[in-house]
Amino acid sequence: MTESKTRTRMRVLAALTAFMFAALVTRLWFLQVLASEQFAKLADQNQVRIVPIQPLRGLILDRNGNILVGNRASTIVLVDRLGMKGQDEQVLFRLSNLLHVPVQDILDRLNSVKYLPYQPVPVAEDVSKQAIFYIEEHKEDLFPGVSYEVGSVRDYPQGNLAAHILGYVGEISDKQLQLPEFRHSRPGEIVGKAGVEATYEPQLHGTDGIRGIQVNAQGLVLDEDFGSRPAKPGDNVVLSIDDKAQRLAESSLAAGIQLARHTADRTSGKYLAATGGAVIVMNPNNGQVLAMASNPSYDPRIFLGGLNYREALRLDLCYPGRPCPKKPKHNNPLLNRAIQGLYPAGSTFKPFVATAALKERLATMKGKYNCPSYYVAPVDPTRHHFNNWSPYNYGSMSLTEALVISCDTVFYSFGYNFWLKYHRSGDANDVFQRDLRLMGFARKTGIDLPNEQTGLIPDYAYVKRLYDSNPRFYGSCQKQPNGKTSCKFPGWLPGDSIELGIGQGYLQVTPLQLAAAYSAIANGGTIYAPHLGWRIENPDGDVIQEIGKQATGSLPITRREVLFLRNALKGVTRFGTASSAFTGFPLGSIPVAGKTGTADIAGQQPYSWFAAMAPADHPKYVVVGLVEQGGHGATTAAPIVRRVLEGLFGIPAGGPLRAGPNVD
């Protein structure tokens, strides 16, 4: 009996389900077919528009919790293209006069494909209270379709401090919208465009909210909150940067550049151009970047609301509809020279040439090497002189002494011996090039910033590309009896290896690559990826991700040999090429190991380099300084780095910054 009742109930339930499904299908058919015109008419009279709500971006803080980038309230005026009641021209003209925004700028925004037809378009930010009151008072008669909202824009409480690190935000571009990482983004959205803002966009952005607005066919709002989902704010990014160290690096670099511009190069007699530069402060034991300065810099606030033509010119940028600047007049302020500037390293490269020579047993820690005033490659029939930076013949010396006085001719001989011993081809797999790449050169360091440059260790393939691009300039050419010129590719020459031996020729490094390599000497041999991110916190301040150190390689010599090099570099500041720059510095209590460098580029004044680590026996800091066309290494870069070290260790500055001597 019980089983029979159960079957009856199941049949009834099945019948009811079938009836309800049939009724649903019939209703859908009626709505879509028989009543489609009537339904569309009702939809036209009673619409719901979905408006996205931009989330509050996360904060960017320094290691001590100081806000580097925050948010502030901004009153934004919006225009609904469907709500101006056919008075478009008059409304926009009045709005232009009230907000002091050109009509064309407003039209450009309204006509942008980035905004959906029913989406109110922001046309002005940071609008005054008086203007908002006037719009609201005359909304129906003068400003139909015009509204406002209180949104947020990025705020920079420290001004332009660390601008190249932090970057800036802006409207998402069409190109970005095509990228996989922006597949959930929408036109008109504000996203990170450069620096940390771009790298940590997924963490900083947050999750969009939505708001439904019910309107009728005339565009009148019936319900401003017809269902909504709140936006979720982004997470905070805490950097390894110390704001005091950053300010110190920037001010020291700026002072050094100004000093150089009032210093005459003692070789040419002309004042130094000092077109720009970079300073990096790193913790060599974990890769944390404590400061990264690039000069000239810029104010990220000018990107809020978009650039105008004059602002674009000041940044050496092209502007839509205007001719691009033929030559940068402001030395490319957007270029982060620390990671994007490519330069010959000059004599700061010698410790790494010494590393390769030690590895391949072309040099030993106890060996003796000749330091004449010039070097001639034994196989060179032209007897070309590769001159030492000093005109004196220093005789025989140790590897330590060669580093201390920066003897070019010792390192010329190392370069030549690499060429002589290893097949003379200059192939990318040749020992010299391979060893230098093992030290982190010609590859990205892995810094968490976009658009880092790779650099270049020149090899056979590179000089072959140069030859193919211009055989007459790069080839060995002879005029034939028929009057034609015949050129042949000379290959990788002894001079190519000789120049690479002193960090010249076609070599290109970034200041950050050099800082990472010197950090490996400082810590005993480990190459760490430099990084700016320290941890990610949620809006309540809870840590949700720690960003730790990452080893990417090691110097290809023993720890004993690495410490030998570190100890040798201590002599540079005591009685070597940087001794004048460090006169009066307490080297007894805070020993500094370092290396000067002077890089030559055809047609330009010398580039000034200095790399240092301190305290030399147990380094806490590696500091690298570069000034483009700033003279010799001891002239400009070494005094800048000294000033940074004084600030880091709390040493009173020994008077104003002074230019050093013309020493390599």
Domains assigned to the chain: 346-533 (3.40.710.10)
Q: Which residue has the higher pLDDT, 18 or 564?
A: 564
| pLDDT band at residue 121 using 50, 70 and 90 as cut-offs | confident
What mean pLDDT comes out for the span 458-462?
A: 92
Q: Is the pLDDT of residue 515 over 70?
A: yes
- What was the pLDDT predicted at 373? 96
- What was the pLDDT predicted at 314? 81
Instruction: Name beta bridge partners: 343.
Output: 509
Interatomic CA distance for residues 135 and 123, integer angstroms: 14
- What was the pLDDT predicted at 116? 64
| pLDDT band at residue 23 using 50, 70 and 90 as cut-offs | very low
Q: Is the pLDDT of residue 418 over 70?
A: yes
- What was the pLDDT predicted at 102? 86
How far the first Cα of the chain sits from its last, in Å, is: 107
- What was the pLDDT predicted at 46? 53
Q: Is the pLDDT of residue 9 over 80?
A: no
Least confident of 87-96, 170-179, 456-465: 170-179
Q: Is the pLDDT of residue 15 over 90?
A: no
Tokens of 339: 């990671």
Q: Per-residue DSSP letters for 306-372?
A: ---HHHHHHTT---TTSPPPSS-SS--TT--HHHH--B--GGGGHHHHHHHHHHTTSS-TT-EEEE-
- What was the pLDDT predicted at 29? 42
Interatomic CA distance for residues 396 and 492, integer angstroms: 29
Q: Is the pLDDT of residue 183 over 90?
A: no
- What was the pLDDT predicted at 425? 55
- What was the pLDDT predicted at 281? 99
Q: Which residue has the higher pLDDT, 183 or 478?
A: 478
Average pLDDT, the chain: 88
- What was the pLDDT predicted at 25? 43
Least confident of 44-53, 125-134, 240-249: 44-53
Q: Is the pLDDT of residue 516 over 80?
A: yes
Q: Is the pLDDT of residue 309 over 80?
A: no
Least confident of 36-40, 51-55, 500-504: 36-40
Q: Which residue has the higher pLDDT, 167 or 74?
A: 167
What mean pLDDT comes out for the span 363-380?
A: 94
| pLDDT band at residue 117 using 50, 70 and 90 as cut-offs | low
According to DSSP, residue 392 is labeled: S
CB atoms within 10 A of CB 358: 23
| pLDDT band at residue 10 using 50, 70 and 90 as cut-offs | low
Q: Is the pLDDT of residue 322 over 90?
A: no
What mean pLDDT comes out for the span 399-422?
A: 95
| pLDDT band at residue 114 using 50, 70 and 90 as cut-offs | low
- What was the pLDDT predicted at 265? 80
> Under a CB-based contact definition with an 8 Å cutoff, are residues 172 and 147 in contact?
no
- What was the pLDDT predicted at 423? 60
Which tens digit of pLDDT belongs to each residue from 122-167? 888 889 999 999 999 988 888 898 998 888 899 999 999 999 999 9
Q: Is the pLDDT of residue 622 over 80?
A: yes
| pLDDT band at residue 399 using 50, 70 and 90 as cut-offs | very high
> Under a CB-based contact definition with an 8 Å cutoff, are residues 66 and 239 in contact?
no
Which tens digit of pLDDT belongs to each residue from 462-477? 999 999 999 999 999 9
CB atoms within 10 A of CB 489: 15
- What was the pLDDT predicted at 427? 60
Tally the C-alpha atoms within 13 A of residue 85's C-alpha that lie toward its C-beta. Answer: 13
CB atoms within 10 A of CB 293: 32
Contacts of 633 (CB under 8 A, 6+ apart): 346, 347, 348, 577, 578, 595, 596, 597, 598, 608, 609, 610, 663, 664
| pLDDT band at residue 110 using 50, 70 and 90 as cut-offs | confident
Percent of the chain at pLDDT > 70 equals: 90
pTM of the shown model: 0.87
